[in-house]
Each structure stands twice: as C-alpha cells, then as structure tokens.
Amino acid sequence: NAGVTQTPKFRVLKTGQSMTLLCAQDMNHEYMYWYRQDPGMGLRLIHYSVGEGTTAKGEVPDGYNVSRLKKQNFLLGLESAAPSQTSVYFCASSDTGRPQHFGDGTRLSIL
Amino acid sequence: SQKIEQNSEALNIQEGKTATLTCNYTNYSPAYLQWYRQDPGRGPVFLLLIRENEKEKRKERLKVTFDTTLKQSLFHITASQPADSATYLCALGAVSGGYNKLIFGAGTRLAVHP
C-alpha cells in the first residue's frame, strides 16, 4: 500500500525554468492538496482539489498552477521558477472531514 | 488574521517522563484540531483528532486536550521514549467550501534523551 507518492524527491532548477511535480494516491480519496513548508513556518496551502476535474486556490497560489485530470493524480506546475519558490512541497489526500495523508515531499531549490 | 502558535524552541526531556506540547490559536473557531508527527525528511503523519465538543482524547500513550475558551490544545506523551523524538504539528480544522481546511502551526521539536 503506497499511500501518497510524490515525484521527484529532489530537484534543482534555474530561475525562469519550468517544471511539474507529480502526486499520486492509491486510497481513492476525493480531496487532494499541495502545501509548501518553509523553515519556521507552518505548512501553507497552495492549491487543492475536491474531486476529479476541479481545482481551487489556497493561501499562497501565486506562481503555481495545478491540474487534476484523474482522481488519483494531482499535478503542481511552476511556469517560471523564482528563488522564492525554493521550498519543500508536500502533497496530501483525504476524504471529507478525515485526516490528511501526506507524501514524503519534494525538495526544490531554485538558483 | 488567524494565527496558530507552537513553541519554536525544542523540548528536551528525559526518557520515561511526560512530554507536554502546547498549541495556542487566535482569531479562529475551529471545528476540530489535529496533531501530526513529522520525522526529518518525511511527510507529516496523523496522530489524533479532537473535536470542539470534546475535552480530551486518548490513544495509547498519547493524550490531547482542547480548551475552546482558552483557545489552546495540549498534547501529552506519557512514558516518553527516544523513538518519540520528532517534530509535532498542530493543525486547526474546519469544513470550508466543501473541504476540510487545515491551518498548521510551525511545529515543536521534541527530543527524548535516554
């Protein structure tokens, strides 16, 4: 039982480059989330999805886009990476009102 | 604005003692509160959930209290072990726009020494 799987685990980008982070869950959860975690700060919600084909903005959505074409996958895109987007990105999934299940994160450095 | 505070300094305790971690919040009325554990290089793992109408919840060596008047939750680990060393995150929750919105604290690092 894999739970929530994030790829890649590490990535280094140059400013202005683009990339996509992939999240896959095998628990048939309706809801999926993307967070970023920075030192000394709590997890901050970037975007979330309440079901296949739906997405919505979270607390810090600027500079990111998402897509949920399949129920089990939630993609996070950076169109033009900036140093301020250096962070650890976590994906999570859940059912309504239930605790969230997290992946082990993607460590992203923007030079 | 909504704010959630956890002790930023690490908590160091001796093995066998009870660890108590604090979570305070302002400008928020959560329907429930969750505690997660996070190990270095790993994602958070859910531990306990307590609802606004519950005063206390227990699970094995873990106990959580929730005081909506004080706007505070306490997280206790009894008979602590070195394996309990990790960062513990508090998260306030409410159903908003059809999903369970969570606001996370920055976490408190716990170190249990043999």
The 3-class SS string of chain B reads CCEEEECCCCEEEECCCCEEEEEEEECCCCCEEEEEEECCCCCCEEEEEEECCCCEEEECCEEEEEECCCCEEEEEECCCCHHHCEEEEEEEEEEECCEEEEEECCCEEEEEEC
Q: For residue range A72-105, what is the model confidence (pLDDT) as tens digits?
A: 999 999 999 999 999 999 999 998 778 999 999 9
- The verdict on a CB contact (< 8 Å) between A43 and B44 is yes
Q: For residue range B102-111, what is the model confidence (pLDDT) as tens digits?
A: 999 999 999 9
Nearest to A3 by CA among B80, B31, B76, B44: B44
- The verdict on a CB contact (< 8 Å) between A104 and B95 is no
- The verdict on a CB contact (< 8 Å) between B42 and A48 is no
Is the model's pLDDT at B95 over the cut of 80?
A: no
Quote the percentage of chain B above a pLDDT of 70: 98
The residue behind tokens 């170190």 is B111
Average pLDDT value over all residues in chain A = 95
B45 CB neighbours in chain A (<8 A) are 102
Q: Answer yes or no: are the C-beta atoms of A92 and A24 closer than 8 Å.
A: no
Nearest to A33 by CA among A20, A23, A19, A21: A23
Binned at pLDDT 50, 70 and 90, residue B97 comes out as low
Residue of B nearest to A31 (CA): B99
The confidence score (pLDDT) of residue A96 equals 77
The confidence score (pLDDT) of residue A66 equals 98
